[in-house]
Amino acid sequence: MRLRIDSDALGLDDVLLGDSIAVNGVCLTVVTFDAQGFEADVSTETLSRTTLGSWTVGRRINLEKSLRFGDRVGGHLVSGHVDGVGRVVSIEADVRATRWRFAVPRTLSRFIAEKGSVAVDGVSLTVNAVADEHFEVALIPHTQTVTAFSDTGVGSGVNLEVDLLARYLDRLNSGPR
């Protein structure tokens, strides 16, 4: 599948053919672009592990260009390699924030730790609570306003990327396969 992403607000002045742009947390390669947006090819592997196949035209999404060496890192490290799809279970007001609860596949839940990080639709968040196949985060008003969370509701599917270090530590501890 080929996606056309309108991204005039992102600013593509410094983008080159072949650059990576995270689209709701999914690292996609720019295959063509103009001043208003870019196109990227999506493999069947990506479609099977993400929410991209269910998108409709006009959907609001999170976009982020790749960091370059020397760039300031203002959050957790996120690779754009989505591990699976979760689902919004509940959204509740919590003083000056909103508490979001997500269902997570059992195969990924072991990689999510309280006070660790998880990327949800490409937004790196701190985990506030974790239990079996659920985890919770708190979204401040700014995060909800400047991300696609403002258009996300209970029952929505979300792309999940677990902590990069947890993924590699698991592989090292499990030995050769």
Q: Give yes or no for residue 139 having a pLDDT over 90.
A: yes
In this predicted model, what pLDDT tens digit does every residue of 105-124 receive, in sequence order? 998 999 999 999 999 999 99
pLDDT tier for residue 25 given thresholds of 50, 70 and 90: very high
Q: Which of 10-14, 59-63, 91-95, 170-174 has the lowest mean pLDDT?
A: 170-174
Mean pLDDT, the chain, rounded, equals 91
What is the share, in percent, of the chain residues with pLDDT greater than 90? 70
Q: How confident is the model at residue 72 (pLDDT cuts 50, 70, 90)?
A: confident
All domains in the chain, ordered by first residue: 2-65 (2.40.30.20), 84-174 (2.40.30.20)
As beta bridge partners, residue 101 has: 90, 136
**Mean pLDDT calculated for residue range 31-42:** 94
Q: Residue 110 carries which side chain, given as an amino acid letter?
A: R
Residue 3, burial from CB neighbour count under 10 angstroms (0-12, 13-18, 19+): middle
How many residues comprise the chain? Answer: 177
pLDDT at 172: 86
- Side by side, the strands of the sheet bearing 26-33 are 2-6, 37-41, 26-33, 20-23, 63-65
Q: Report pLDDT for 71.
A: 77
- Top pLDDT among 125 and 8 is at 125
CA distance 109 to 94: 24
Greater pLDDT, 120 or 168: 120
Rounded CA separation 108/161 (Å): 9
Residue 174's pLDDT band (cuts 50, 70, 90): confident
**What's the pLDDT band for 135 if we cut at 50, 70, 90?**
very high
Q: Is the model's pLDDT at 69 over the cut of 80? A: no
Contact 85, 78 (CB under 8 A): no
Give the per-residue pLDDT at 177.
Answer: 61
